[in-house]
Chain A
Amino acid sequence: MEFSFYLIQLLNGIQYGFLLFLVASGLTLVFGIMDVINLAHGSFYMIGAYLAFWLTGIFGSLFLGIVLAIPLAVALGFVVERLAIAYLYKKGHLHQVLLTYALILIFDEAQRFLWGNDSHGVDIPAALSGSITLTDIQVYPVYRLFVSFVCIVIGVGMFYVIQKTKLGMTIRAGASNRQMTQALGINIERLFTIVFSLGVGLAAFAGMIAAPIDSLYPGMGDNILIISLVVVVIGGIGSIKGAFVGAMIIGVSSIFGKTLFPSMASIVVYAMMAGILIWKPQGLFKSA
């Protein structure tokens, strides 16, 4: 196999890593700042994908579908936080696991009720359906490059908000010392609502832009949840930087695992996690 083959795998791995980052960043923030384990986080990825599928079907344009789906997803995050997650702040992790697991069941059931058990696909928009020629026989789809590009833009935006804005300061402060943040007059519950809703928005957005390259099927959120938990643990709970590095490591190694050692593909990711945790039991980076 030649260089361009590896290049394609690497590009796929990076693109997958970017999507994982969008999902894992919300998960790690919610865990790090709010101390809530949200097992339903993967469901929002699924919901995003189905929203994109549904709205694209109605309006005939993926872009329009996504533009409309984002506010719906954030609003859903807001409602879920107010009606369910807000009860968990003073509870232990067991309550959180039970309640957010119940949310998975509810979302999965709603998905089946609305869209059935068949798997679905979303077409790649015509403007991005082309390919780039790498060598005489190898091409790379433009849409995948587009996905990576959009994720970079969002990643930079997120980094800017967290590092440079007052909201970002309070998010970082809340992650390191919740009581002091409150004692300085910050409304920590409102901060939690914002962080949770934005996290849901990011996960759902990942599902939306992944819809044309990933098929939609019942329970598709479970797989991404587990991989995202691995990413969060590797990166260090609460660390955005860690979520990024962890997502890249897992994204690239899982794609290479699938092509180079197909028989062992499913354990590559966990072997990676075990290795990193032996080296750094707290994960690669510290919180926020």
Chain B
Amino acid sequence: MTTGSPGNNTPLIEARGLHTFYGDSHILHGIDITIHKSETVSLIGRNGMGKTTTLRTLIGLAPPRQGTIKVHGRDIKKSKVHKIVHQGIAYVPDDRGIFPNLSLYENLIMAARSGPNGRDDWPLSRVLDLFPRLKERMGHMGNQLSGGEQQMLTIGRALMTNPDLILLDEATEGLAPKLRKIIWAVIKQIKKAGIATVIVDKDIKTLLEISDRNIIIEKGKIIYDGDSEKLIKEPEILKKYVGV
């Protein structure tokens, strides 16, 4: 059993029976999600099925009405958003969340901190090595950046909080093919660095290739949770629920 004291096998996140509402609309209907250390997980589902809501629920931006969430084995039910993410979680939202009135440099460093166990693996120089393009734009304001630069910035900003886990919503949405390639390459590097990720994206093929495990969500319920090899062998599942 892995419950109890946070040992090495304790999942980063262990969520059970999440029910999330927006006002009166019931969006998540009993979601169970477990994310282990260094795991790359894709969250797949058609439009409006609850992927974004799931990510927002996990970090407390959309607190669940029912269910439990443990981070490193500790219940975070009553915790504020900033307390939850300080456990080593970074959030890259679908709209990127770049502050338009802060410079690129300020966007990068405003939240920079060492990880929950004092780890300091991602100084500015390493983030800039990963995204050389950002180097030339340091003084530009957030609202002067292209979509690709914003996506690099939001991932770079996430890394500068030295997370154990990055929740990446719409990782390559709206980017030109060349930029998508750059972002996927970076995600592979992040994987190599041992950081766990939960990725939402429309590019199912690349997701299957990159991720260790896939979760399919349908109308606020998880209808599939298994490793990529298994899913590749069962293409009818993807056809049925995702349409590819």
Residues of A bordering B, CB below 8 Å? 166, 169-170, 172-173, 175-177, 179-180, 182-189, 286-288
A-B contact pairs, 25 of them (CB 8 A): A166-B109, A166-B110, A169-B102, A169-B106, A169-B110, A170-B110, A172-B99, A172-B102, A176-B101, A177-B97, A179-B61, A179-B97, A180-B99, A182-B80, A182-B82, A183-B81, A183-B97, A184-B157, A185-B82, A185-B85, A185-B86, A185-B113, A188-B82, A189-B80, A286-B101
Within 8 A of A (CB), among B56-102: 59, 61, 80-82, 85-86, 91, 93, 97, 99-102
Q: Which residues of A contact B85 (CB under 8 A)?
A: 183-185
Which B residues between 99 and 119 are near A, CB-CB below 8 angstroms? 99-102, 106, 109-111, 113
- The 8 Å CB contact of A176, one of B93, B99, B109, is B99
Q: Indicate the size class of the contact surface on chain B.
A: 20 to 34
Please give me the residue from chain A that is nearest to B87 by CB atom.
A185
Of all chain B residues, which has the CB nearest A173? Answer: B99
Closest to B161 in A: A185
Cα–Cα distance between A182 and B83 once the two chains are bound (Å): 9
User: Quick one: which of A172, A286, A288 has the most chain B CB within 10 A?
Assistant: A172
A50 CA to B81 CA, complexed, in Å: 41
Q: Give min CB distance, B195 to chain A, whole Å.
A: 16
Given contacts A184-B85, A184-B111, A287-B101, 12 further A-B contacts (CB under 8 A): A169-B102, A169-B106, A169-B110, A173-B110, A176-B99, A180-B99, A182-B61, A183-B59, A183-B61, A184-B157, A188-B82, A189-B80
In Å, the complex CA distance between A184 and B97 comes to: 10
Chain B residues contacting A185 (CB-CB under 8 Å) are 82, 85-86, 111, 113, 161
Return the 6 tightest CB-CB contacts between A and B, nearest first: A184-B111, A180-B97, A182-B81, A169-B110, A183-B91, A185-B85
Cβ of B89 to closest chain A Cβ, rounded Å: 9
Residues of A with C-beta under 8 A to B86 = 185
B residues in contact with A286, CB < 8 Å: 101
Kindly list chain B residues whose C-beta atoms are within 8 Å of the C-beta of A187.
Answer: 80, 82
Inter-chain contacts of B93 with A (CB < 8 A):
180, 183
A89 to chain B, nearest CB (A): 12
Q: Which residue of chain A has its CB nearest to the CB of B85? A: A185
C-alpha spacing A286/B101, complex, angstroms? 9
Kindly list chain A residues whose C-beta atoms are within 8 Å of the C-beta of B106: 169
Residue in contact with A186 in the complex, picked from B82, B97, B102, B109, CB distance below 8 Å: B82
- The distance from the CB of A279 to the nearest CB of chain B, in whole angstroms, is 23
CB-nearest residue of chain B to A179: B61
Nearest CB on B from A81, distance (A): 17
Q: Chain A's nearest CB lies how many Å from the CB of B178?
A: 27
